[in-house]
A and B are shown apart, each in its own frame.
Chain A
Amino acid sequence: MIFAPELLASPTPIFLATLAVSLWLAGTLLVPVLARRPVWLIRSAFSLATLGSALAAVGGAWAVAAAGNEAIVLPIGIPELPFHLRLDPLAGFFLVVIGAMGFFTSIYSLGYVRGIAERRPVGGLVLFFLLFLAGMGLVVLADDAFLFLVAWEGMTVSSYFLVVFEHEQTANQKAGFLYLLMAHVGAITILLAFGVMAAFATGLTSFEGYAFDAMRRADIAPGWATAAFLLALFGFGLKAGIVPLHVWLPEAHPVAPSNVSALMSGVMIKMAIYGIIRVTFDLLAAIPWWWGALVLALGLVSALMGVLYALMQHDLKRLLAYHSVENIGIILIGIGLGMTFHAFDLPELAALGLIAGLYHTLNHALFKGLLFLGAGAVQHATHTREMEALGGLIHRMPWTAALFLVGCISISALPPFNGFVSEWLTYQAFLLSPSLPSTLLNILVPIGAAGLALTSALAAACFVKAFGITFLGQPRSRHAQNVSEVGITMRIGMAGLALACLLLGILPATLIDWLDVIPRQFVGAGIAESASSHGWLWLTPIAPERASYSGTIVFLGIGAIIGLTWFALHGRRHRAPRRGPAWDCGFEKMTPRMQYTATSFSMPIRVFFGALFKIRERSSPMHVHRHAAFPERVSYSLHVDDRFWGWIYKPVSDAAFWIARLTTRIQGGRIQVYLIYSFLTILVLLIFGR
């Protein structure tokens, strides 16, 4: 039906999207066929993935641009509930996120997976990579709860297998377990949320209620709507990694192969954002203000805690994973603001908040993807993620270093790259909070803005550390010596993302023009009219007098001044700078070990925010020969742990084990006791059961 020839002649966005998903799924068939030719498998499968991603991105972009809203129904699924698919602008936008990231990551994988294939079979990696993409594609295309959940769990399971891909490490298994378990719990609450909505849609007498269309039409009692919202928020929050539901994220994302980490951090957790938007703005539609405030508060907490925990990390990918928590927080801040404004019937402002959130979604996908790919390149070259063992890579891996730097600047929300634009929009949304008709919110929301400021400043600190310790300075161990630059496909993948980061940073008005249809769909207003009222060069979200920004001019301006200065200094009597040894403070034997480390870099922040972490620091002198004050060696160990683990997860797990121990007592081994159970059961049934 969907492969009808006339559609090939004049395709529609949803045709492209389903074709993309089909390509991804079809690619999995290559795995058994080419199981013994890994090189061919990698080439063909990832080329197919690239093609599919491109189609998905095009289809999604088209759907947004055309404000299309097409639905189709596939004749599979459970009885009375076939698979409904729909491509509306919101789905289209997220399809672009998937497609864009899938595109660059697949290109990158062409080289990256080859490297892995030298060590171990990669059939599983290829298979689940494709399934993962297909799962995410179907999540956004799904237009009924059943398909949504199937796709959602398909995405989860395939990413789980990718997390445990290198399953020999126990850490990977632990991470995989935690991830899959929490994701499953999340899926269950999402299911419940849909159940509540479906119950109001059709009373659960038929499956029609599970179609999103029926939920849209349903008139849900406020109390139950809140229940559905909270359930959905919990479920999606688990996936998104909202603090305190984030603990799986920094475990699972780092241990996956880096191309997968990029997709997980860049795209998969955005599916949760999609879910939140879909459920609140679309399905439930009537939003009380405190939902927005709750999302905003959760976003703030996530952003702050995420970045603070990130600062404490010295595993490069783990650090990046915590930053995903932070950025999800920032996205949620935008969306929460949008929800709050929407609740108070301020459509333009709601549109601004929503756009800020969506813009950051796209941005984060791009730069976090870039960073994970960069980290993957580092790992590929050095075989370690441990920052304390790295250093000085910029000399040997100039391309990777430069591209990674772009990612660092972007994620630190520094102009002229993209991260700044979305955070700036978020600030603008914050600054409009005085329009809210609630004094309490008026006072509290600005403090949230300060929290965001703290977050982005800390993020900058963190990425100075991440880039500085990894790429700058001198090699801290043999891992970082004798490395070489990664291959061309990996560089192309990263370069594409870096370029996208720059373009989104300097052309925000164009993007917002394109994006504007989404808030129009949900809150009935957009900001494009004002945002690009002064042309593509200027971003003026509300009004030019209110605030304006031009990334292009910042970029070109700084570039021009730098160029002028350079010419001024080098034009006349240019002398190449002399190379000399760094100043050694009079101490003659400088070694790389004297450099600042990741741990020492974040020490002041650890001190300032110490109360938020569970710090176990121990330093003890060893080999004291002459005098206690002059030990030969000092052993130092530092463990910074997530407090939430002890606050929430450990008690839950302890309780589960406690109950488990109780249940095992039932099976005590003595048959007489078992007979007593039967006996008592009969008695109880006889007395109460008749």
Chain B
Amino acid sequence: MMLTGLLIAPVVTAVPLAFYGHRRFAPYVNMAGSAAAFLFSVGLAWQVFDQGPIQTSGGSFFVDAFNVFLAVLTAFVSMTTAAFSRPYMAHEFKQGRVGPRRMRLYHAMFQLFIFAMLLALLTNNMGILWIAMELATLATVLLVSLYRTPESVEAAWKYFILCGVGIAQALFGTTLLYFAAERVLGEGGTTLHWTNLNAAASSLEPTILSLAFVFFLAGYGAKVGLVPLHNWLPDAHSEGPTPISAVLSGLLLNVALYAVVRCKVLVDGATGTNRAGQLMMAMGLLSLVVAAFALFLQRDVKRMFSYSSIEHMGIMAFAFGLGGKLATFAALLHMLVHSLVKSSIFFTVGHASHMHGTQQMDRIQGIIRGNPLVGWGLVVGVMAIAGLPPFGVFVSEFLILTATMREAPFLAPILLLGLAVAFAGLLRKVQPMVFGAPPAHQVPVRAAHVPVILHLVIALVLGLFIPSFLSQWFETAVSMMRW
């Protein structure tokens, strides 16, 4: 019931929004739909927490601790993003940047996007997973070009092409996976079910699976934003509407990484080595370092934070690649807190760019004077994302570092170098935006404070105290990992 509700809520919401998305009440419908999805997700989580993994009849959907946690996160962040998008999009509408048609498109696609992500998370079928990932791209690509500026069209095109190429590789990987599975499980619709594959993982042909993983990594990795497949990411984040940047960074990347990890589990089961993990570590570290340095010379504020997302996805990929209880636990926690903090940053950034009528950082100044809560939200968010205690990111990075020092001590300095450089890059740019005297062109905007505060408070609490249900949850998810 919960599962059905969770999947249907966004679709049901999307339909009226496709027709009435420009009306005054539309944002509230949007919020209500997301809230409903969130409630369903919590209910689902409760079920999983209570009864253990759930598999629907026929096995098309499989819910375990790993994906239900991400589903709750997705539903939660989409709910807060919907709350944020209400004043944000109202401002855009008032400024004439989007007309009624595009408001309809925006609202409908937003819900469709949420649906695609939830589907990708909850499906048991590796093929459906692929389809849902592609659907998520398709849903967002028109949102990226919502403003129809040359830049946004260009960004959307690049997003579409690069992710399309990437995801095509993933399909090849899926084919190979099916090829390997068919030999063991026989032909049929259930062969691609992750649960079946997982059960039979050790008898899958390792040669095929390790080849398949290459394609999975190159495919879903492009969506994760791993360097050097990341080029679409800064463009799409900077040119799309800010709520979309928030969910792209906060959710889509997670979902893509989730897909990679699901594949990795299978591959590890087949090969019995951590070769796949090593590839993830390599790409993760590369992403971390490159993105960290790229932060330095950014001028567009959303672009900069999209690089920060690349950096953090690199960290997570690295941690998942590292494997082991501790690193995986940390990576899951990092997923959670990164989503929360990064989306809250995008919320504040969205308001800040409205206040100044630009996303160019050198024209943004003195936010803290113009709107203290936005300013503090941004600076605290940046501190949090940069890994300063007592926020949750610090805890997860601390754990990742611990695991690194245990497993691969000589990578620890690189990891830390990346973190330090990223910190420098972010702080250097954020400080003048937040502080200073407000410039003449700054105007007040109506801001949605609750989502920002909510996200940051949760991130703060997680830095000091991880509730036992959450850690148990993580533990269960961790137990799924083989390496």
Residues of A within 8 A of B (CB): 76-79, 146, 149-150, 153-154, 156-157, 164, 167-168, 170, 172-173, 176-177, 180-181, 184-185, 188, 191-192, 195-196, 198-199, 203-205, 207, 656-657, 659-664, 666-667, 671, 674-675, 677-678, 680-682, 685-686, 689-690
Contacts and interface: CB of A to CB of B under 8 A. Distances in A.
Given A188-B419, A666-B294, A674-B232, A204 B218 contact: no
Contacts of B464: 76-77, 150
A349 B359 CA distance: 63
- In this complex, the member of B398, B413, B463 whose beta carbon has the largest number of chain A beta carbons within 10 angstroms is B398
Contacts of B43: none
21 contacts: A76-B465, A79-B471, A149-B398, A153-B389, A164-B435, A168-B436, A176-B431, A177-B428, A181-B424, A181-B428, A188-B419, A192-B401, A199-B409, A204-B402, A663-B293, A664-B297, A666-B228, A675-B165, A677-B231, A682-B214, A685-B279
Interface stretch (B49-57, B73-81, B133-141, B154-162): B154-162
Nearest to A675: B165
A666 B420 contact: no
A678 B165 contact: yes
B421 A656 contact: yes
Contacts of A662: 293
Interface centre among A154, A195, A199, A205 (most CB of B within 10 A): A195
B323 interface: no
B420 A150 contact: no
Contacts of A677: 228-229, 231
Contacts of B437: 168
Contacts of B466: 78-79
A196 B404 CA distance: 12
B389 A675 contact: no
B436 A173 contact: yes
A671 B157 contact: yes
A154 B389 contact: yes
Interface in B156-177: 157-158, 161-162, 165-166, 169
A172 B431 CA distance: 10
Given A168-B366, A671-B161, A685-B279, 20 more contacts: A149-B394, A168-B436, A173-B432, A180-B427, A181-B427, A184-B420, A205-B406, A656-B293, A661-B297, A666-B228, A666-B231, A667-B231, A671-B162, A674-B232, A677-B228, A678-B228, A682-B169, A686-B214, A690-B207, A690-B210
A644 to B, nearest CB: 18
A156 B166 CA distance: 43
A678 B463 CA distance: 37
B388 A153 contact: yes
Interface in B197-220: 207, 210-211, 214-215, 217-218
Contacts of B405: 192, 195-196, 199, 204
Contact of A173 (B169, B211, B421, B431): B431
Given A154-B389, A167-B368, A660 B296 contact: yes
Contacts of B228: 666, 677-678, 680-681
B428 A657 contact: no
B450 interface: no
Contact of A674 (B158, B294, B424): B158
Interface in B56-98: none
B423 interface: yes
A689 B271 CA distance: 13
Nearest to B234: A667
A203 B326 CA distance: 13
Interchain residue pairs A-B with the least CB separation, the first 6: A167-B435, A660-B296, A674-B231, A204-B406, A150-B389, A677-B228
Contacts of A168: 366, 435-437
Contacts of B428: 177, 181
A192 B412 contact: yes
B129 interface: no
Contacts of B434: 167
A609 B398 CA distance: 45
B279 A689 contact: yes
B398 A191 contact: yes
A176 B431 CA distance: 9
A677 B218 CA distance: 11
A168 B432 CA distance: 9
Contacts of B409: 199
Contacts of A156: 388
Interface SS of chain A: helix
Main SS of chain B's interface residues?
A: helix
Contacts of B207: 690
A671 B398 contact: no
Contacts of B423: 181, 184
Contacts of A153: 388-390, 394
A184 B412 CA distance: 16
Given A167-B436, A188-B419, A660 B232 contact: no
A184 B416 CA distance: 11
Choose among B169, B389, B405 the residue with the greatest number of A CB atoms under 10 Å from its CB.
B389
B182 to A, nearest CB: 21
B224 interface: no
B290 interface: yes
Nearest to B417: A188
Contacts of A686: 211, 214
B222 interface: yes
A660 B162 contact: no
B383 interface: yes
B317 interface: no
Contacts of A188: 416, 419-420
A133 to B, nearest CB: 16
Contacts of B419: 188
A195 B394 contact: no
Nearest to A165: B435
A684 B97 CA distance: 43
Interface in B295-326: 295-297
A216 to B, nearest CB: 19
B399 A78 contact: yes
B406 A199 contact: yes
Contacts of A198: 402
B395 interface: yes
Nearest to A685: B214
Given A656-B296, A663-B294, A150 B214 contact: no
Contact of B390 (A154, A681, A685): A154
Contacts of A680: 228
Contact of B402 (A170, A195, A671, A681): A195
Contacts of A663: 290, 293-294
Interface in B87-118: none
A688 to B, nearest CB: 9
A690 B402 CA distance: 28
Nearest to B161: A671
Contacts of A666: 227-228, 231, 290, 294
Nearest to B207: A690
A501 B28 CA distance: 65
A322 B157 CA distance: 55
A686 B466 CA distance: 41
A295 to B, nearest CB: 24
A166 to B, nearest CB: 9
Contacts of B412: 192, 195
Contacts of B229: 677-678, 681
B389 A149 contact: yes
Contacts of A79: 466, 471
A167 B431 CA distance: 9
Interface in B5-39: none
B383 to A, nearest CB: 6
Interface in B369-399: 383, 386, 388-390, 394-395, 398-399
Contacts of B290: 663, 666
A686 B432 CA distance: 45
Contacts of B222: 678
A689 B413 CA distance: 24
A682 B293 contact: no
